[in-house]
A and B are shown apart, each in its own frame.
Chain A
């Protein structure tokens, strides 16, 4: 059981790190602002989500798990909203469009 949980952690955190890397490469390489934002949202949603999932077996208690999941939800919420706001500025021909 412990081995299975550890394997889940290793797999999920590695996958999360992969999404972080992919998102970072996207942020650096994509041609325009909207595409770069698209890359960033993947990091927020999937990357952080997988890392939180991987850490869940190790927090030692439902309260800690709840906090971790709340962090993920809050980051998702703020990420989505900030992305919308930046995209709005870009569409109106804001700076560095």
Chain B
């Protein structure tokens, strides 16, 4: 017991130290690398708190995807050389520090002054778990009890992608995102990009599938699929698709569309928007999850690929 406690103390101190380092690092690149390490350590904390679903998401999205996005941003900043005028002044930095400290203090106060026992809906979730025949309470909440939130989350993801695309100049609109990656077709990276995706695709679908009863789900599985796609693109084995391609747009809206159709069906056949008829709950949920996984994988991959940079040859 004391060993576990000591481990937790070490983990917490390490986490705080790394967070401070990430903020204090002088170069953007260093800060990002430390941020990725911070995310992985935080995932261990979530595992210790028995929140394996959150841990998976933290490792995949918080650390992996965000880390890769930030690395790309840091690379662009370094290549461009941030002009002196764009460096934040002392007042702005002080204001940001005060704002961050206030939010951190408010969050800490919120956690520390929770009434005991804390208000919880967990018993209600456990009581109604049988309604959907899903074994994982997290999936139950995400896809059934709070399905509206999850649907809107997917819409936000799409909006983020639209935001990235809108950075493209007009003449390149509809073109292919990012540079065409060149790698030695007989080299190590190309070998890796041929070897790993079959494994990664199986693992990604597995994570989606076990999400019904165990930790896992559409977001975590979709992230793995996105990583496989990015690997193949980075190795130059395939090019990024032009953003004007119709099939691509269809995949992008597949997840939210499946959600909406099922939701409206619930309004028509059942009691309310997104109310699943009890008999078909499982197949409907699976259909939504599969459509969402596809959408998430493609959206995340395109988010990392960036805005269109090359006009499409016609």
| Cα distance A85–B190 in the bound complex, in angstroms | 11
Q: How far apart are B229's CB and chain A's nearest CB, in angstroms?
A: 17
Minimum CB distance partner of B188 in chain A = A84
How many chain A residues touch B (CB < 8 A): the figure is: 7
Give CA–CA (A17, B189) in the complex, Å: 30
A21 within 8 A of B: no
Q: Residues 189-230 of chain B: 1 if any A CB is under 8 Å from the residue's CB, otherwise 0?
A: 101100110010000000000000000000000000000000
Main secondary structure of the interface of B (DSSP, over half): helix
Contact in complex: B189, A74 (CB < 8 Å):
no
Contact A81 B192 (CB under 8 A): yes
Question: Which residues from A are CB-within-8-Å of B199?
Answer: 74
A18 to B: closest C-beta gap in Å:
19
Q: Which of B189, B195, B196 contacts A85 (CB 8 A)?
A: B189
Asked if A10 CB lies within 8 Å of chain B CBs, one says no
- When distances are taken between beta carbons in the complex, the residues of chain A under 8 Å from B192 are 77-78, 81
A78 to B200, CA, bound (A): 12
Instruction: Check if A88 sits within 8 Å of B188, measured CB to CB.
Output: yes
Q: Taking each of B191, B192, B196, which has the highest tally of chain A beta carbons within 10 Å of its own beta carbon? A: B192
Top 7 A-B pairs ranked by shortest CB distance? A84-B188, A81-B192, A81-B188, A85-B188, A85-B189, A74-B199, A77-B195
Binding site for A on B (CB under 8 A): 188-189, 191-192, 195-196, 199
Supplied contacts A77-B192, A78-B192, A81-B189, 11 more A-B pairs, CB within 8 Å: A74-B199, A77-B195, A77-B196, A78-B196, A81-B188, A81-B191, A81-B192, A84-B188, A85-B188, A85-B189, A88-B188
Using a CB–CB cutoff of 8 Å, the interface residues on chain A facing chain B are 74, 77-78, 81, 84-85, 88
Subset of 14 A-B contacts with CB under 8 Å: A74-B199, A77-B192, A77-B195, A77-B196, A78-B192, A78-B196, A81-B188, A81-B189, A81-B191, A81-B192, A84-B188, A85-B188, A85-B189, A88-B188
